Structure 1
Amino acid sequence: MKYLVTATLMIALGATAAEEPAAIQKVETPALSEPQTLPTLDSLWNKASEGSELKQALVNGTLKAELLLGYEYSDLDDNGRDAANAFLSRTRISYLTGDYRGFSAFVQAQYVGPLNDTFSPKNNKYDTVADPEEFRFHQAYLAYTGYDSHARIGAQEIILDNARFIGNVGWRLNAQSFNAGSIANESVENLKLYYAYADSINQINGETNDDRQYHMFNGEYRLTENNQVSAFAYLQRNDEDGSGPDQLDTFGARNWGQSDNLNYDFMVALQRHAFYGHAFGEAVLDRVNIGGGIEYISGGDDSNDRFQTLNGTAHKFNGWADQFLGTGGGLEAGLIDAYGQVSATVLEKLNLLGVYHYFHTAHKTDSGFDGDYGQEFDLQAKYSVCKNFDVLAKCAYYIKGDNHAGNTTADETVFWLRGTLKF
């Protein structure tokens, strides 16, 4: 680049001299005491770079990379398939530019690649592991910060409240992002107002869903240092084939925080005639937390009348075996999930978590099913080897309850092992 700049300047100077008529050219002999010298390449380059605020913002950004290697075992009974043994990798490279008068840009490219084929969808002989091979720009947006606001436009992760209704499905390797415009404002002390409009969703199956559009309104207010409330309205519009409602509006509120040694989280929401409720409490002890909660998701005879959680982080709720992902589209019998959990920190670097779930129907179906879905045991251990590397082991064991035709769950064992390197 330096040589190109120098050559361009010399050619331009030569061209100017050639255009001057010979009759009026003046030849002056420079004084010997003031010798003429050509500019150096470095001086030309530095002069061209001076004052380039935009260039500095572009080149002086933050580059990050992440490499994840994982193994997943999945054995689902009564489906006629062999157990899956999936070896997977994910590579992420991200770049955040510096600030240019309030503007910045962020790009995150990722590639999810299978290392074998003993799982579906690579091979339908085996159980499903929902991490298909895919390269995409998971996030790519332009941002602006100013006037107590932060705005983004482009592909972006959106996580609102506890991710129950709007989330990034971060456990799956192809996480979820929204093609959206968003703005958050904090002009009023202790109040954060958020709005986003998404015209499509980049799903965990590697496809982009253009059939759903979202208006997302969320307001959070900090009552005290350790107590917050929020209210939200998520307005979904569907362009689909008529198999579901043409619109799905969710209205709700949440209260969460900490009082002395007690963590708590309460949420309620409404959709048409459907209802959602969640209550959680946790005692914070020395290195050990003991908690529990109950979640209610109403059902309905018609799919349009069931409570749906289509774009939340479903894996975080109702057990890690993902037996109840159908709550995304609504369950006929609804769901009551009563659970207890214990978490502990050992030697500061090892975090342990155990969860027990008991699942029951919310009401009786037309087929007569009203009872015990089943129960599940979940265990997780995460160890930070160093600042940039951690390993995780996690398992879920689901046991089916009532053997009724209306109970579509099945016994399942799932195990994960992952290592993540960040730099």
Structure 2
Amino acid sequence: MKKHILAAALLASPIALAHPAFAADKPFGDPVPMADGLTFDPIIDARIRYEAVDQPTVDADAVTARLRAGFEIKHAPSHLSFLVEAEGTLGLNNEYNAFPFALPGSSQRRPGFAVVPDGESIDLNRLQVQYKTKAFALTVGRQRINLDDQRFVGSVGWRQNEQTFDAVRAEATLGPVSLDGTYAIQQDSIFGSEAGPRRSMDGDFVFLNASAKVGPLTAKAFSYLIDYDEAFAFTNSSQTYGARISGSVPLSKAVKLNILASYARQMDMGRNPVNYEADYVAGELGLAVKGFTLTGGYELLGADKAAGKSFQTPLATLHKFNGWADLFLTTPAAGLEDTYVSLAKVFPKVKALPGLNASVVYHEFRSDLGSTKYGTEWDASLGFKVNKVGLLVKFADYNANKFGVDKRILWLQAEVAF
């Protein structure tokens, strides 16, 4: 394990740039015409990943392969489409713990190893019918939902088994105003078909967004209502109301200023036994010039001292936030402050490696209450394509600073989609 981590560090160090990751996010291949206005589009998305976790108490070496396969049929004259997609994950090297929760009798619950939440499973990932025009879309069924930057609702696409929702979603554009509303009855989790009661969680979930363009910026108001049916999830039942402003302001022909500001207030809902209120604050400024983007940001997930409860986002793509080592998937009871800076670079002129990009990120973590130092983290990534295959190297290095334990993770990944 130590050799793997050292190799990752040596590979990541000359990158000295980085934030997101590269993947085969844009499928290739055109839909196949079947009749006048009718097309058939096969879906194949294959990914293989090596994930090595190094920490003082437990390690993990996981090699997993994931295949999504299905198809979409579209009928242009009626604006209707039908999509079905299955998803299967196989563990090729199983020295990891797939489930970070107790699950008696499960061969994938391996507490002697670190958690890598990519359990072996076969699932129905999506099954939806959609009506879509330029101004309106209605989607019914099991579907992928990514809202804004996925801070509150996302598909957790980083994990092998993504999160989807059994839902009805309506989207409308009325001039400069966009409306987006979803009612879901089930959250289909990343843990897959073998995760027992945590395979999916029932409840009433409402996502409402209204946005409008304000010059180069977009202003949005949102509300997220989460009311779980399962007793083990009651403490995550909440109602969140907030607003955000985001966009890019040109400073010159070559320079852009990226802006993000967001505030939200969260309270308990439904059968949550804890009566609490907590704030969310996020601010980010980025300077983009000649393929470089330098970004500085601050994010607060606040805490209610009297209730001993903090701001939570259980439906988010959490890996995107607060460090890739995934130490803060659940906000600590004392809340979380994340101050970070990142440098990213794209290399469009490197024709031999299409899509070449690199990034590096530094985080400093503290509590909201009491200013406890939670530690620091360095993250780095390098991605590019070889033919149609997206290749990715990622590395996370969390230094606990005497709070908990250190953790390092190396990822090597290849993915192709069409």
TM-score by length of 2: 0.80
The amino acid across from 1:91 in the alignment is L
Q: CA-to-partner distance for each residue in 1:271-330, whole Å, 9 max, x for gaps?
A: 122000000111111121111100011123466742111101110000000011112xxx
For 1:252, the equivalent position in structure 2 comes to 242
CA RMSD of aligned residues (A): 2.1
> Is 1:216–2:186 an aligned residue pair?
no
User: Pick from 50, 55, 63: which aligns with 1:76?
Assistant: 55
Task: State how 1:83-162 maps to structure 2 within 5 Å.
Answer: 83-99=59-75, 101-121=78-98, 122=108, 123-146=110-133, 148-162=135-149
The amino acid across from 1:174 in the alignment is N
| 8 Å Cα contact 2:70-2:85 kept in structure 1 | yes
Q: How many residues align?
A: 351
Higher helix content, 1 or 2: 1
Structure 2 CA distance for aligned equivalents of residues 257 and 147 of structure 1? 22
> Is 1:278–2:282 an aligned residue pair?
yes
| 8 Å Cα contact 1:230-1:255 kept in structure 2 | yes
Aligned-pair CA distance for 1:88: 0.8
Structure 1 CA distance for aligned equivalents of residues 141 and 326 of structure 2? 30
Structure 1 CA distance for aligned equivalents of residues 150 and 410 of structure 2? 23
User: Structure 2: which 5+ residue stretches go unaligned?
Assistant: 1-33, 99-107, 193-197, 251-255, 268-276
The structure having more radius of gyration, on CA atoms, is: 1
Aligned-pair CA distance for 1:243: 7.0
For 2:175, the equivalent position in structure 1 comes to 189
SS in 2 for 1:168: coil
For 1:9, the equivalent position in structure 2 comes to none
Change in CA separation of 1:58 and 1:208 when aligned onto 2, cut-off 3 Å: farther
The amino acid across from 2:346 in the alignment is T
For 2:410, the equivalent position in structure 1 comes to 415
| 8 Å Cα contact 2:89-2:161 kept in structure 1 | yes
SS in 2 for 1:117: strand
For 1:236, the equivalent position in structure 2 comes to 226
Aligned-pair CA distance for 1:422: 2.2
SS in 2 for 1:315: helix
Structure 1 CA distance for aligned equivalents of residues 79 and 87 of structure 2? 27
Structure 1 CA distance for aligned equivalents of residues 366 and 337 of structure 2? 5
The amino acid across from 1:126 in the alignment is F
Change in CA separation of 1:385 and 1:147 when aligned onto 2, cut-off 3 Å: closer
| 8 Å Cα contact 1:302-1:332 kept in structure 2 | no
| 8 Å Cα contact 1:57-1:97 kept in structure 2 | no
Structure 2 CA distance for aligned equivalents of residues 290 and 97 of structure 1? 42
Change in CA separation of 1:71 and 1:247 when aligned onto 2, cut-off 3 Å: closer
Structure 2 CA distance for aligned equivalents of residues 245 and 130 of structure 1? 22
Change in CA separation of 1:313 and 1:301 when aligned onto 2, cut-off 3 Å: same
For 1:389, the equivalent position in structure 2 comes to 389
User: Structure 1: which 5+ residue stretches go unaligned?
Assistant: 1-54, 365-369
Change in CA separation of 1:358 and 1:57 when aligned onto 2, cut-off 3 Å: farther
Change in CA separation of 1:210 and 1:422 when aligned onto 2, cut-off 3 Å: closer
For 1:399, the equivalent position in structure 2 comes to 399
Q: CA-to-partner distance for each residue in 1:86-126, whole Å, 9 max, x for gaps?
A: 11101111311021612211112111111122111334322
For 2:328, the equivalent position in structure 1 comes to 324
For 2:363, the equivalent position in structure 1 comes to 357
User: Among the aligned pairs, what percent are the same residue?
Assistant: 28
Higher strand content, 1 or 2: 2
The amino acid across from 1:213 in the alignment is D
